[in-house]
Structure 1
Amino acid sequence: MGTSDRITSLVTDNDIVLFMKGVPQAPQCGFSAGVVKVLDALGVSYVGVNVLEDPFIREGIKEYSDWPTIPQLYVKGEFVGGCDIVREMYESGELQALVNTPEETG
């Protein structure tokens, strides 16, 4: 399975996925820690993917999203953004709406 296939399955198999430096219990950069704080404040469960453990994912996720930095948050298969965007969306209430919206079933 190629890197982008692995990323696709992570993003589609889980409602909320955070590609980050470190793990949710021990983020290894301030920006990753910022997104973890927001997700913890929301009280939602999510999957944390440590890009430092996998150089292919670390580079692949940047190409996958066309976004140059880590962390990257995905909700219901859609790329949301990095730390600043996540914080802004949280403050505006947009993120809460996004994570609490039931998935549409075809």
Structure 2
Amino acid sequence: MSVIERIEEQLTNPVVLYMKGSPDFPQCGFSGQAVQILGACKAEYAHFNIFEDPELREALKEYSSWPTYPQLYIGGKLVGGCDIMIDLYKKGELATLLSSVGAVAA
């Protein structure tokens, strides 16, 4: 399976966070903030540590045309990084996006 096929398979999850580290141990401040925001929204999401897969890390930048991490995808589409997540969260729009794909815990 090619790295692009792996990305496309991963993106079948309703919400995906590509991050540095894991939700329990984020390895950069931006990834930590992304996890906190998703937690505040009570979001259920798949996560992938880009440090564990250098091929994935490089391919994602090209796939998404987004050079930095974290990268949040909802419904298979790139939402953006930490700054965009913060902005959408403050506006209440992130919760709406998460709800639209059934990714909010009861």
Q: With structure 2 as the length reference, what TM-score do the two structures score?
A: 0.93
Q: Secondary structure at the match of 2:11?
A: helix
The percent identity for this pair of structures is 49
Q: CA deviation at 1:44?
A: 1.2
Q: Distance in 1 between matches of 2:100 and 2:49?
A: 26
What stretches of structure 1 move > 4 A for 4+ residues in a row?
none
Structure 2 residue runs without a partner (length 5+): none
- Aligned residue pair count: 102
Structure 1 residue runs without a partner (length 5+): none
Q: Secondary structure at the match of 1:26?
A: coil
1:70 match: 69
Q: Distance in 1 between matches of 2:56 and 2:86?
A: 24
1:59 and 2:58 matched: yes
1:26 and 2:15 matched: no
Q: With structure 1 as the length reference, what TM-score do the two structures score?
A: 0.93
Amino acid at match of 2:54: P
* Conserved 8 A contact 2:74-2:101: no
2:9 match: 9
2:44 match: 45
Query: What is the aligned-residue RMSD (CA, Å)?
Result: 1.0
Amino acid at match of 2:39: D
